[in-house]
Amino acid sequence: MKIEFIDNILTPEDFVRLRVTTGFADIPVPHARKALQNGLLNVSAVKDGKLIGMGRLVGDGAMYWYLQEIIVLPEYQGLGIGTMIVNHLVDYAVKNSSTGKITTIGGVSARGKEGFYEKLGFEVIPNGIQWRIKRKL
């Protein structure tokens, strides 16, 4: 299956649609637009011209990088696409890590998705309210 990973083409409308399709809260389009504009990177997973997944990286672009909205449409889950999205974002963080020393890549896992991040080498840090994941480079 040939899938392209394309940076910063995600529209706010598609962002909202993918969120809602996979159980995230609906948000107003202007809010989504601002979030995309202020993020460091967003990546779209595209198969035969169809958007099938996405991921975002937010943070300060130097020390802290956070994964957000790693989403694969239900019919394409379990095929390794989520892994490729995360790796794409992590590669960007590594390449753009200005210090070249230790950088932290983290995120907040949705409940029940911790295993996905653990398989990618992230450590799950339960704090009782939400599950934080963190990987040192």
* Residue 27 C-beta: closest distance to ligand COA, Å: 15
Please state, as a whole number, how many other Cβ atoms lie within 10 Å of the Cβ of residue 133.
22
> Which 98-137 residues touch ligand COA, going by CB under 6 A?
109-110, 112-113, 115-116, 119
- Binding ligand COA (rule: CB under 6 A), the pick from 80, 91, 124, 136 is 80
Residue labelled with tokens 């398989």: 119
- 90 touches ligand COA (CB under 6 A): no
Q: Which is nearer to ligand COA, 100 or 112 (CB)?
A: 112
SS3 of residue 101 by DSSP: coil
Q: Indicate which single residue of 43, 58, 70, 90 sits in contact with ligand COA (rule: CB under 6 A).
A: 70
User: How are strands ordered across the β-sheet holding 4-7?
Assistant: 4-7, 41-47, 50-59, 64-72, 104-109, 131-136, 123-126
**Total number of residues that touch ligand COA (CB under 6 A):** 18
Rounded CA-CA distance 13/103 in Å is: 32
Binding site for ligand COA (CB under 6 A): 22, 70-72, 77-83, 109-110, 112-113, 115-116, 119
